[in-house]
């Protein structure tokens, strides 16, 4: 008579290695075999970036302040309100020379 191990290979069953605990619930009652997630959890994105960010070690770099730029000029308005059709109509309509493509964009 042949055994099942000779038919299917070795008779060893491998079980994953989970860390387990027995947790007391109250009184003398214990709950057994609670599977924990991980013994070495990975950091989430922001925590990882905060831990591995480059540190300033040079004295001149630690004391350096951010660059201060001059403020930008105010943007032109997107829309121009034309109340008088005779005086402002010419300024609101672009000329054909303004509508041509620049020379370098061919």
Over range 16-25, report the average pLDDT.
57
pLDDT in tens, 36-74: 677 888 899 999 999 999 999 999 999 999 999 999 999
Integer Cα distance of 34 and 36 in angstroms = 6
Instruction: Give residues with Cβ within 8 angstroms of 3, minimum separation 6.
Output: 11
Integer Cα distance of 63 and 66 in angstroms = 10
DSSP 97: T
Predicted model pTM? 0.27
Most confidently modeled of 10-14, 25-29, 65-69?
Answer: 65-69
Strand partners, 34: 21
Integer Cα distance of 76 and 80 in angstroms = 10
| Residue predicted with more confidence, 59 or 33 | 59
How many residues make up the chain in this entry? 106
């Amino acid at each position: 008579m042949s055994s099942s191990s000779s038919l299917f290979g070795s008779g060893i069953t491998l079980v994953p290695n989970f860390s387990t605990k027995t947790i007391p619930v109250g009184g003398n009652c214990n709950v057994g075999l609670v599977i924990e997630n991980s013994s070495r959890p990975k950091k989430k994105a922001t925590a990882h970036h905060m831990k591995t960010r480059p540190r300033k070690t040079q004295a001149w770099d630690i004391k350096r302040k951010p660059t201060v730029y001059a403020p930008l000029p105010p943007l032109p308005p997107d829309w121009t309100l034309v109340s008088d059709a005779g005086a402002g109509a010419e300024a609101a309509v672009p000329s054909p020379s303004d509508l041509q493509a620049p020379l370098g964009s061919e």
